[in-house]
Amino acid sequence: MKKIIFSIAVIIAVIIGCKTNSKSSDSKNLNLVFESKSNSKVTGTAAFVEKKGKVTFVAKITGLQPGIHAIHIHEKSDCSAADGSSAGGHWNPTFKKHGKWGVEEHHKGDIGNFTADEKGNGTITLTTDEWCIGCEDATKNILGKGLIVHQGADDFVSQPAGNAGARVACSAIIK
């Protein structure tokens, strides 16, 4: 009888362990590297982590001029042009006006502004349920898009893109 109870306990433990492991695989991760554009020295990394229906985005960028800079998701995962223009315009699958994330009407690609310190280093973090990594919803799926860092700040008013200046870094959002 003890062997049967022990065997059942082991089987239950294995089943629970498998379920726990499958939950951890529900997380999706993308790690990207920025290429310098427009004759800049801007580089850095970005990460997208999807867990429980939310995507957390973190970018760490170096080589910037001190001050405020914009970062946006653009339509195409093409960083081939020297000025980053091959990434197209802002990603806007819901056809909204350009604006400030979470405050007004905005594109799905309107991430926003961040500040570079006196050494030219900046970080930005955003968590949202408006994005996904590789899902079937074209209005949320970030795969196949481009990530652009701009020379200046987004004014959140100028249409269609916020008047943030040159594209100083680019990364394709691909697996």
Domain-embedded: residue 81? yes
- 44-50 long-range CB contacts below 8 Å, 24 or more apart? 44/149, 44/169, 46/147, 46/171, 48/131, 48/133, 48/142, 48/173, 50/131, 50/132, 50/133
Domain-embedded: residue 134? yes
Q: State the first-to-last Cα distance of the chain, in angstroms, to the nearest integer.
A: 52
Whether the ω angle into residue 66 lies within 30 degrees of 0, i.e. cis, is no
Q: Which domain holds residue 121?
A: 28-173
Domain-embedded: residue 68? yes
Domain-embedded: residue 4? no
pLDDT tens per residue across span 139-167: 999 999 999 999 999 998 888 888 999 99
Domain-embedded: residue 139? yes
Domain-embedded: residue 17? no
| Total domains present in the chain | 1
Domain-embedded: residue 57? yes
| CATH code for position 77 | 2.60.40.200
Q: Per-residue pLDDT for 8 more than 80?
A: no
Which of the four pLDDT bands, split at 50, 70 and 90, describes residue 20?
A: very low
pLDDT tens per residue across span 55-113: 999 999 999 999 999 999 999 999 999 999 999 999 999 999 988 888 878 889 899 99
Domain-embedded: residue 5? no
